[in-house]
Amino acid sequence: MPHSHLHADPAPHAHLHPARFPVTVDVVALTVGGGELRVLLINRLIEPFKGGLALPGGFVLPGEGLRDAAARELAEETGVARLPGHLEQLQSYGPAGRDPRGDVLTVAHLLLAPDFPVLAAGSDAAHAGWHPVSDVLDGVLDVAFDHRQIIADAVERARSKLEYSPLGAAFCGEEFTVAQLRAVYEAVWGTRLDPRNFHRKATGTPGFLEDTGAMSAGEAGRPAALFRLAPESRFVAGEPVRAVLNPPLMRPRG
Amino acid sequence: MPHSHLHADPAPHAHLHPARFPVTVDVVALTVGGGELRVLLINRLIEPFKGGLALPGGFVLPGEGLRDAAARELAEETGVARLPGHLEQLQSYGPAGRDPRGDVLTVAHLLLAPDFPVLAAGSDAAHAGWHPVSDVLDGVLDVAFDHRQIIADAVERARSKLEYSPLGAAFCGEEFTVAQLRAVYEAVWGTRLDPRNFHRKATGTPGFLEDTGAMSAGEAGRPAALFRLAPESRFVAGEPVRAVLNPPLMRPRG
DNA sequence: CCAAAAGTGTTAATGCTACACCCATGG
DNA sequence: CCATGGGTGTAGCATTAACACTTTTGG
Q: State pLDDT tens for residues A187-231.
A: 999 999 999 999 999 999 999 999 999 999 888 889 999 999 999
pLDDT for position B123: 52
What is the CB neighbour count within 10 angstroms for residue A123?
Answer: 15
d(CA B113, CA B121): 21
Which among B35, B200, B47 is positioned nearest to B134, based on CA atoms?
A: B35
pLDDT at B250 over 80: no
Burial degree of A244 (CB within 10 A; 0-12, 13-18, 19+): middle
pLDDT for position A82: 87
A126: which chain B residues are within 8 Å (Cβ-Cβ)? 7-8
pLDDT at A118 over 50: yes
d(CA B59, CA B66): 10
pLDDT for position A121: 55
Note which residues in 13-72 of chain B have CB less than 8 A from chain A.
14-15, 18-24, 42, 44-47, 54, 56-66
pLDDT one-digit tens code per residue, A128-178 = 899 999 999 999 999 999 999 999 999 999 999 998 899 999 999 999 999
Which residue in A8, A54, A253 is closest to B246 by CB distance? A253
pLDDT for position A148: 98
pLDDT for position B5: 42
> If you average pLDDT over every residue of chain B, what do you get?
89
| Contact criterion met (CB below 8 Å) for B91 and B156 | no
pLDDT at B4 over 70: no
Band of pLDDT at residue B16, cut at 50, 70 and 90: low
Q: Facing residues of A25 across strands? A: A58, A107
Which residue in B10, B60, B92 is closest to A66 by CB distance? B92
pLDDT for position B82: 87
pTM for this model (two decimals): 0.91
Band of pLDDT at residue A126, cut at 50, 70 and 90: low
Stretch B224-248: mean pLDDT, rounded? 89
What is the CB neighbour count within 10 angstroms for residue A106?
Answer: 27
Contact A15 B44 (CB under 8 A): no
* Lowest-pLDDT range of A94-103, A167-176, A193-202, B174-183: A94-103
pLDDT for position B253: 60
B221 touches chain A (CB under 8 A): no
| Highest mean predicted confidence (pLDDT) among A39-53, A61-75, A234-248, B122-136 | A61-75
| Contact criterion met (CB below 8 Å) for A57 and A71 | no
With CA of B247 and C1' of each nucleotide, the nearest comes out as D15
A96: which chain B residues are within 8 Å (Cβ-Cβ)? 63-65
pLDDT at A106 over 80: yes
pLDDT at A122 over 80: no
d(CA A16, CA A38): 46
Stretch B126-142: mean pLDDT, rounded? 93
Stretch B108-129: mean pLDDT, rounded? 80
pLDDT for position A197: 96
| Highest mean predicted confidence (pLDDT) among A69-73, B3-7, B79-83, B122-126 | A69-73
Distances (CA, A) of A58 to A15, A251, B5: 28, 35, 8
pLDDT one-digit tens code per residue, A2-44 = 334 444 444 444 455 799 999 999 999 999 999 999 999 999 8
Percent of chain B predicted with pLDDT > 70: 90
Residues with CB under 7 A from strand C: A 194, 196-197, 200-201, 215, 217-218, 220-223, 247-248, 250, 252-253; B 177-179, 195-197, 199-200, 203, 219-225
B97 touches chain A (CB under 8 A): yes
In the three-class reduction of DSSP (H, G, I as helix; E, B as strand; rest coil), residue A169 is classed as helix
* Lowest-pLDDT range of A113-117, A138-142, A180-184, A228-232: A113-117
